[in-house]
Structure 1
């Protein structure tokens, strides 16, 4: 019984640490990636908000796991086991979705980038996000800088490109642009590579975290089963 208690408390601490990590990642994504996510044309759920909510819930329930193990409260242990089961299912769904829909996410960004180029100067939110993306990834346009030359904004500027396409203030906004002073790569290839690599990592991490829940569920159920039922209650399996 003592070994079960210590094992469940140790697991709860790891679970709590995982929740804190998710919360930090969610905050980082909300602050730094919020503008980039606005460029996607796909109506996906707000991933940073999901991470924030899940991380907060895991932190709270991680404390509950430690408390239920320390006090050997049978009802709390069963509740904790049920919560871990829910996290297991959510982790499996998130992980498998990330693996299956990586290409859909990339296509959503491709379509969103084209829309952002065509509405540049009209939608300030997307324009700021696009400028930030081009600076951060050192890219220009969807496939190349030539995408800008046929956009409504580019035609108004006599076939020029935004300053965010420039490596420096070298006059790359000339007409035609000075190709030696601007970012040569298109943004979609870089975004696609980023999505493919990082979505795979996040998906496998979600599946790994889901597999970890099996240990917690087994420990919680074993400990609950070893605790005697209330004299007036009826013992039932976890």
Structure 2
């Protein structure tokens, strides 16, 4: 088997893997977007402002769909020995690779102060929206019930809130060990139910790690695919000339 035939087969193989990787990334993007849609509503105003330009789920969907098309394009270019398709494939995948690196850098930078950002927006949401906004209330109730936690940090997040004022000083039932109403601040203090922040942050980290791991694997495949596609392009260029 000559070098050209070997690289041709490798190009097809890498593009097949890129196609499968794009399909996986697309599925992860849909999953992250579905989970993110619910979680961001929990964070209240942060859902409409802070992540408008850092939407990991949407990014995964767009890149995944693009990789699906690129996988097909690369396979066709290698099979038909088309210089035009190979060059187009190389150029587009290089642009996508640069975009992935840029987003990865942004994600690393923002993850360093994710805790402060979450606390800055979630606590005001509990103070103003919990009990009055059905969506926020239902999501927080579900989160606190399933995770057996209270508020973001603890029951103090509800002290002085609109919910407490409208319910005669009672806190959400999840803030007391008994899980029943009424739940007074003194009962909540004795119960010492932990906050939901650690669970929420862990969920975000798990999603980020999964998406990051898949993106890193696809990035390696992209580099390999660019190398073999450029080799094929140069070989065809020399053969034609």
Range into which the TM-score falls when normalised by the shorter chain: 0.7 to 0.9
Output one character per residue of 1:147-195: Cα deviation in whole Å (capped at 9) or x when no partner. 223212113223323345577x741543347559978221223323444
The Cα of 1:55 is off from its aligned counterpart by: 1.1
Greater mean alpha carbon deviation, residues 99-108 or residues 22-31 = 99-108
Structure 2: 5+ residue stretches without partners: none
Return the alpha-carbon distance in structure 1 between the equivalents of residues 40 and 118 of structure 2: 8
**Which residue does the alignment assign to 2:222?**
213
* 3-state SS of paired residue (2:141): helix
Structure 1: 5+ residue stretches without partners: none
| Structure 1 length-normalised TM | 0.82
Change (3 A) 1:52 1:201: closer
2:50 to 43, 55, 79: 43
Change (3 A) 1:188 1:166: same
Map 1:1-238; keep pairs closer than 5 Å. Answer: 1-40=4-43, 41=46, 43-44=50-51, 45=53, 46-119=55-128, 120-163=130-173, 170-171=179-180, 173-176=182-185, 178-179=187-188, 184-196=193-205, 198-199=207-208, 202-203=211-212, 205-228=214-237
Q: Which protein is richer in helix relative to its size?
A: 2
Change (3 A) 1:77 1:138: farther
The Cα of 1:54 is off from its aligned counterpart by: 1.5
Please tell me the root mean square deviation across aligned C-alpha atoms, in Å. Answer: 2.9
Output one character per residue of 1:171-224: Cα deviation in whole Å (capped at 9) or x when no partner. 154334755997822122332344456535644553453343221111111011
8 A Cα contact 1:139 1:183, kept in partner: no
The Cα of 1:90 is off from its aligned counterpart by: 1.4
